[in-house]
């Protein structure tokens, strides 16, 4: 039984939701271990499109267990909305969804602080999703957070909430922002609490029993390697460990029970929000946007696009321990005659081995490109690797080779059946 961690190897939106959905067919349990509803994971089945934010993408398949682990931050009101949205389209959300009582709560004052801080940063803003993620993880680390276990005990929750609202309001007012209402938050949170209660358990215990029973776990990473709080392009990152190690701390599953790490990467690169992006390219951005592609699943923002960056994916392979590679959106390059791939960075005239740790030097890096021939043929109907045009096969194999890892999946469209297993 292989327990697999799936991570994004770039800046998020690599197509993780689609690959998770594909792999869930053979897994037993899908686990989210970090991030919150800043994530937007798209899955298309038949003629229906789902965008999942907090609930593991495994929920779309019957008889699969889904776990929201301790490392996730969740907004109880929007989680209830997500659950009800799925039920409204006939997806069962009952005992198949378990939520850790240690997950931290995103409260409206976190969202208000997220917005106020972004505004105060002016040109240096991060370009967050506005979901209150940074302030919530900030409270967690400062040991002033509220957890789902608190929300399950209304009296304790209200006591703690009163203090937090007072502190947050002082900060909001000092920043020139509107204060939030204790009463409104209390009412909305307690109403959501009752709807969430049946799902709230000690997920660590559940997962350990599942391991004993030899169930197969699939960890659904959110965001991507270069949005990781430690390994990403700090401070233009999210506030959790998006890399493979986060799966263990964020779920309570011991690291040695993880058997493999699958890195998902687009055949090109995208990034949404601010921050350095060495291979960003206006021509490829315009081409993809012109095809109606690369608009954010959570915020609708146009994603910045660029060439495939093997320097950064090689680093991602190292940090995550990527053994297997899934390449998505290969079809996005179908109309090109020549494709560029970044194989090195030059900084101050010298070639460097890994991306510099600080964003100023990373921003100053000049990508070194090689050119690979395009295939100028649609690939979206290909069902087998051998059916892909020869140049498309070579391209996929080359970027896997440059990254370092075994190419196991190639995705040529957003639908479940547009997935090639090698
Ligand atoms: P995630 O956050 O990593 O799950 O990725 P998103 O769902 O935010 O963004 C990926 C986008 O690419 C979504 O619109 C997917 O439906 C789409 N997608 C995923 N794989 C492919 C692919 O191979 N080809 C095409 N055309 N679209 C894809
Ligand atoms: P999925 O799981 C792409 C980006 C934001 C911003 C930075 C910080 O769909 O791949 P935050 O709201 O987390 O404080 O924003 O991180 N970001 C994502 N970009 N995909 C995501 O998730 C993202 N989640 C956060 O755009 O640059
Ligand atoms: Mg996304």
Q: Which ligand is nearest to the CA of 294?
A: 1
- Residues 116-157 have pLDDT tens digits of 999 999 999 999 999 999 999 999 999 999 999 999 999 999
Q: Which atom of ligand 1 is nearest to the CA of 224?
A: 3
pLDDT at 355 exceeding the cut of 70: yes
Residue nearest ligand 2's atom 23 by CA? 223
User: Exposed, middle or buried, 41 (CB in 10 Å: 0-12/13-18/19+)?
Assistant: buried
Q: Do residues 294 and 280 touch, judged by C-beta distance below 8 A?
A: no
CA distance 156 to 150: 6
pLDDT at 363 exceeding the cut of 70: yes
Ligand 1, pocket-test mutation among 266, 414, 416, 421, most atoms within 8 A of CB: 414
What integer pLDDT is reported at residue 299 of this predicted model?
Answer: 82
Q: Note if 231 is an active site residue.
A: no
- Give residue ranges with CB within 6 A of ligand 2: 8, 12-13, 38-41, 126-129, 131, 133-134, 222-224, 227, 238-239, 272-273, 297
CA distance 385 to 392: 9
What integer pLDDT is reported at residue 298 of this predicted model?
Answer: 81
Domains of the chain plus CATH, in order, are 4-100+198-261 (3.40.440.10), 104-195 (1.10.300.10), 265-421 (3.90.170.10)
CA distance 304 to 285: 6
What is the number of other CB atoms lying within 10 angstroms of the CB of residue 54?
26
- Residues 197-226 have pLDDT tens digits of 999 999 999 999 999 999 999 999 999 999
CA of residue 209 to ligand 3 center, whole Å: 31
CA distance 15 to 18: 5
pLDDT at 1 exceeding the cut of 70: no
Report how far Cα 31 is from the mean position of its chain's Cα atoms: 13
Bridge partner list, 201: 100
Q: Do residues 381 and 415 touch, judged by C-beta distance below 8 A?
A: no
CA distance 227 to 235: 9
Report how far Cα 296 is from the mean position of its chain's Cα atoms: 12
Helices (H), 91-221: 108-121, 133-141, 148-151, 154-174, 182-196, 203-212
Among 21, 28, 41, 199, the active-site one is 41
- Residues 76-109 have pLDDT tens digits of 999 999 999 999 999 999 999 999 999 999 999 9
> Residue 214 half-sphere exposure, CB side, CA atoms within 13 Å?
1
Bridge partner list, 72: none
- Residues 367-417 have pLDDT tens digits of 999 999 999 999 999 999 999 999 999 999 999 999 999 999 999 999 999
Q: Note if 334 is an active site residue.
A: no
CA of residue 156 to ligand 1 center, whole Å: 42
Q: Where does the pLDDT of residue 366 fall: very low under 50, low under 70, confident under 90, or very high at 90 and above? A: very high
Q: Which atom of ligand 1 is nearest to the CA of 413?
A: 24
CA distance 422 to 409: 6
pLDDT at 244 exceeding the cut of 90: yes
Q: What would the two tokens of residue 420 be?
A: 């090639």
CA distance 416 to 224: 22
Ligand 1, pocket-test mutation among 11, 12, 18, most atoms within 8 A of CB: 18
Tokens 């690797």 -> residue: 385
**What's the whole-number mean pLDDT along residues 237-242?**
98
Q: Where does the pLDDT of residue 331 fall: very low under 50, low under 70, confident under 90, or very high at 90 and above? A: very high
User: Exposed, middle or buried, 158 (CB in 10 Å: 0-12/13-18/19+)?
Assistant: middle
């Amino acid at each position: 039984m292989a327990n697999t961690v799936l991570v994004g190897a770039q800046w998020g939106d690599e197509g993780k939701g689609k690959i998770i959905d594909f792999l869930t067919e053979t897994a037993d349990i899908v686990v989210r271990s970090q991030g919150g509803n800043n994530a937007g994971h798209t899955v298309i089945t038949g003629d229906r499109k789902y965008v999942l934010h907090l609930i593991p993408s495994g929920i779309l398949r019957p008889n699969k267990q889904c776990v929201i682990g301790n490392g996730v931050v969740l907004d109880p009101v929007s989680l209830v909305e997500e659950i009800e949205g799925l039920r409204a389209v006939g997806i069962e959300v009952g005992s198949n969804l378990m939520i850790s009582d240690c997950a931290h709560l995103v409260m409206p004052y976190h969202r208000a602080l997220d917005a106020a801080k972004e505004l105060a940063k002016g040109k240096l803003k991060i370009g967050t999703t506005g979901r209150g993620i940074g302030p919530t993880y900030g409270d967690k680390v400062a040991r002033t957070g509220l957890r789902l276990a608190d929300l399950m005990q209304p009296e304790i929750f209200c006591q703690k909430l009163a203090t937090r609202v007072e502190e947050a309001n002082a900060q909001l007012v000092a920043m020139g922002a509107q204060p939030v209402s204790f009463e409104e938050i209390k009412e909305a949170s307690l109403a959501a609490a009752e709807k969430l209660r049946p799902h709230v358990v000690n997920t660590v215990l559940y997962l350990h029993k599942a391991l004993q029973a030899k169930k197969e776990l699939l960890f659904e990473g959110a965001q991507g390697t270069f949005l990781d709080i430690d390994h990403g392009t700090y401070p233009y990152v999210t506030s959790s460990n998006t890399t493979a190690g986060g799966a263990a701390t964020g779920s309570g599953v011991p690291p040695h029970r993880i058997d493999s790490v699958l890195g998902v990467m687009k055949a090109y690169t995208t990034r949404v929000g601010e921050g350095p992006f060495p291979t960003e390219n206006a021509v490829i951005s315009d081409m993809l946007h012109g095809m109606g592609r690369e608009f954010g699943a959570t915020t609708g923002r146009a994603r910045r696009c660029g060439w495939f960056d093997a320097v950064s994916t090689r680093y991602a392979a190292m940090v995550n321990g990527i053994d297997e590679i899934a390449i998505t959106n290969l079809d996005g390059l179908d109309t090109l005659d020549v494709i560029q791939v970044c194989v090195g960075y030059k900084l101050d005239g010298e070639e460097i081995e890994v991306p510099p740790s600080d964003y100023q030097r990373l921003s100053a890096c000049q990508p070194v490109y090689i050119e690979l021939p395009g295939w100028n043929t649609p690939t979206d109907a290909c069902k087998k690797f051998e059916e892909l045009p020869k140049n498309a096969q070579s391209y996929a194999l080359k970027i896997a080779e440059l990254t370092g890892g075994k190419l196991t999946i190639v995705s040529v469209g957003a639908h479940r059946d547009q997935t090639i297993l090698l």
